[in-house]
Structure 1
Amino acid sequence: MLKNKLHSSNIMLITLIAVLCNILWGTPFPVLKIIYKDMGIISSNLADNITFISLRFLLAGLLLFIFGLLTGAPLFKIRKSQIRLIVTLGIFNTTLQYFFFNIGVNNTTGIKASILAQISIFFSILLAHFIYQNDKLSLKKVLGLLLGFGGLILVNLDKSSEGLLRFSILGEGFMICSGLVSAFAMLIAKKIGKDLPSLVFTCWQMLVGSILLFLVGLGMGGNPLSLHFTPLSIGLLFYLALVSSVAFYLWYAILQHRKISELAMFKFIIPVTGSVLTGLFIPGETLLPVHFISLLLVSAGIIIVNRK
């Protein structure tokens, strides 16, 4: 089992897994754009957006559940107190995070969304300061946070509005909300992981969170039967589900062996991957100098925060 191979001194394995997880998390940005165009889902149709994303995580949860059955994971050995934490994690990590994320990513450019999503790093570091005695803020962390926020602000400068910050609630606002609930989810997962294997609680939180998200979509008027699936969209849906199941399972496994502020530095890989892939595969999306500068600032902030 992966849990037996992981320990705090196995830095190389933890590093490789962290890099892999964040590369995988960077790929959905262009993939979602391709799927929505292929299925004819428009950003203003929030109900269909939410319904589709719930199917993605329901499928991801089912993939983990099947994997757990095949590997003999203790899927049903859960205490009542752990059930409450798993449900809470499902609400934060899947229902709320991807409610905000899925709407936000469709109401801003892929490159801006890929960078704004990483505000969860800074929320995580700030929250860790108040929760963990060995993960306090320091001068270098403050400097890193300022650099990172500078990058997030810079990417919002829109020349078409004469240099003013372009900000919309459904776009940039929802991306920030997604980052905040993601930070809370990371703290909850670290607590649950002390007693449960990551495969077990990742599987159940995805199933619970996706079902709640599906109900939200239905309440907004979504209808899964009205979604126009094509062979391309079905294939990409399975890819997204596989990415989510693998990345979250591995991430929560290594989360138990590193400080939150140390592990969070690897998330700078997400905007790099998302920006490059979006610029390469999405028509109308281009990499501009301001985006490279923003990526450098965000990356520098993360590295300074965690540099020994």
Structure 2
Amino acid sequence: MPAKAPPLTQLPVSFYLQVLICATLWGSAFPVIKNSYAALQITGYGEQLVFAGSRFVLAGLMVLPFCRGPIIEKLKQAPRGPLMAVVLGQTFFQYIFFYYGLSISTGTLGALLGSGSFWWMLLAPMILKTAPPQRIHWILLGVCSIGIACAIYQPGADLKNAGLGTLAFLAASGSGAVAATFLKKVAPVAGSRCTTAFSLSLGGLMLLLISASAWSSYIAHFNLTTLLVTLYLAALSATAFTLWNRLIELYSVNVLSTFRFLIPLMGVIESTLFIPGENLRPGLIIGALIVVTSLIIISQVKEAPVEGRCIRP
């Protein structure tokens, strides 16, 4: 029988530390990618997919040495449908939609819609047959959304193609949520590290294949800076996805979906610090306070049993 979760007040310090590491790493991807496009002369959507594909293939290879046991045997034992759902959702479709959204709309909109918390809480009861989120989870999800909206709001900002961009970013976050939900079925068999390595490398290879027509233009201006940025983003993805997928394996989707709001919050904060022209705005301070307060409240809420095991302090 699945173990019952302790109250959220018993979550160990390691849980909060790992969540913060993931949020900080993923948050840094926003300014790094935005600053890199001009420096690396990446202009078209196809080149963006080549950039993403090479990053994820390399990230998957970085995770491989840390996998325990025979990787191929573990993957063979995993249910194929859920395993492919993880590959397609976590890496392939998520970043096809995400980079398309970035190419037609703004990173601000992507930060607002990128957490995917709504999808997580909606899909988990449908796919995993778990207890539905409590009312307090939905309330705090809405409050966190308001906080992120305050943090990213800029008077006079150009929200070009907001409608199509919204659909693209929602599709991206929905794809990631499907992958995270099915990971609960795969990780107990194949292990979260093996699943992460397989998902990143195969999904990245698929991105490279569909963007083959842009290879020549991408390679034409490939330089040392391109290599260093790709290595950093690959290491970022390898670390963050490995840690986060382990948390998905062990903790409730309802808990993690709320804490995902730290990712866009850190993205906005780090963009303010590292992107030229971005300033510390009152809305950012207010939004950060709203999100952090909501997370403190949710950490005090006792929850129904989680799917799978729990980390013990």
- For residues 93 and 139 of structure 1, the distance between their equivalents in structure 2, rounded to whole angstroms, comes to 28
State percent identity of aligned pairs: 26
Task: Point out the more displaced range, 252-261 or 297-306.
Answer: 297-306
- For residues 11 and 142 of structure 2, the distance between their equivalents in structure 1, rounded to whole angstroms, comes to 31
- For residues 119 and 292 of structure 2, the distance between their equivalents in structure 1, rounded to whole angstroms, comes to 16
Query: Within 5 A, what are the aligned runs for 1:129-140?
Result: 129-131=125-127, 135-140=131-136
Deviation at 1:191, TM superposition (A): 1.4
Give secondary structure in 2 for the equivalent of 1:229.
coil
Deviation at 1:160, TM superposition (A): 3.6
- For residues 16 and 265 of structure 2, the distance between their equivalents in structure 1, rounded to whole angstroms, comes to 17
Q: Deviations over 1:131-154 (max 9, x none)?
A: 456542322123223323434666
Structure 1 position 95 matched with structure 2 position 92: yes
Q: What is the number of equivalent residue pairs in this alignment? A: 292
Residue pair 2:47, 2:217 contacting (<8 A) in 1 also: no
- Residue of 199, 218, 230 corresponding to 1:237: 230
Structure 1 position 208 matched with structure 2 position 209: no
Q: Structure 1: which 5+ residue stretches go unaligned?
A: 1-6
Task: Point out the more displaced range, 147-156 or 29-38.
Answer: 147-156
Give secondary structure in 2 for the equivalent of 1:137.
coil
Partner in structure 1 of residue 251 of structure 2? 258
Residue pair 1:27, 1:273 contacting (<8 A) in 2 also: yes
Residue pair 2:112, 2:149 contacting (<8 A) in 1 also: no
Partner in structure 1 of residue 139 of structure 2? 143
- For residues 224 and 242 of structure 1, the distance between their equivalents in structure 2, rounded to whole angstroms, comes to 25
Query: Within 5 A, what are the aligned runs for 1:121-136?
Result: 121-131=117-127, 135-136=131-132
- For residues 155 and 23 of structure 1, the distance between their equivalents in structure 2, rounded to whole angstroms, comes to 16
Partner in structure 2 of residue 181 of structure 1? 175
- For residues 170 and 287 of structure 1, the distance between their equivalents in structure 2, rounded to whole angstroms, comes to 28
- For residues 130 and 84 of structure 1, the distance between their equivalents in structure 2, rounded to whole angstroms, comes to 16
- For residues 215 and 248 of structure 2, the distance between their equivalents in structure 1, rounded to whole angstroms, comes to 37
Q: Deviations over 1:32-70 (max 9, x none)?
A: 01221111112xx111111110110011111122443xx
- For residues 175 and 295 of structure 1, the distance between their equivalents in structure 2, rounded to whole angstroms, comes to 22
The 1:111–1:190 alpha-carbon spacing in structure 2 relative to 1, beyond 3 Å, is same
Q: Deviations over 1:80-99 (max 9, x none)?
A: 65344322211110001111
- For residues 282 and 205 of structure 1, the distance between their equivalents in structure 2, rounded to whole angstroms, comes to 31
- Residue of 184, 202, 208 corresponding to 1:190: 184
TM-score (structure 2 length as normaliser): 0.81
The 1:157–1:32 alpha-carbon spacing in structure 2 relative to 1, beyond 3 Å, is closer
Q: For residue 237 of structure 1, what is the amino acid of its counterpart? A: T
Residue pair 2:105, 2:160 contacting (<8 A) in 1 also: no
- For residues 296 and 10 of structure 1, the distance between their equivalents in structure 2, rounded to whole angstroms, comes to 22
Residue pair 1:110, 1:275 contacting (<8 A) in 2 also: no
Partner in structure 2 of residue 56 of structure 1? 55
Give secondary structure in 1 for the equivalent of 2:79.
helix
Residue pair 1:19, 1:266 contacting (<8 A) in 2 also: no
Calculate the aligned-residue CA RMSD, in Å: 2.9
Residue pair 2:77, 2:190 contacting (<8 A) in 1 also: no
Q: Structure 2: which 5+ residue stretches go unaligned?
A: 302-313
Query: Within 5 A, what are the aligned runs for 1:61-72?
Result: 61-68=60-67, 72=68
- For residues 289 and 112 of structure 1, the distance between their equivalents in structure 2, rounded to whole angstroms, comes to 18
TM-score (structure 1 length as normaliser): 0.82
The 1:81–1:200 alpha-carbon spacing in structure 2 relative to 1, beyond 3 Å, is closer
Q: For residue 140 of structure 2, what is the amino acid of its counterpart? A: G
Deviation at 1:253, TM superposition (A): 1.4
Residue pair 1:28, 1:274 contacting (<8 A) in 2 also: yes
Q: Deviations over 1:186-236 (max 9, x none)?
A: 101111112121111111111221111112212xx3215633222222111
Deviation at 1:13, TM superposition (A): 2.2
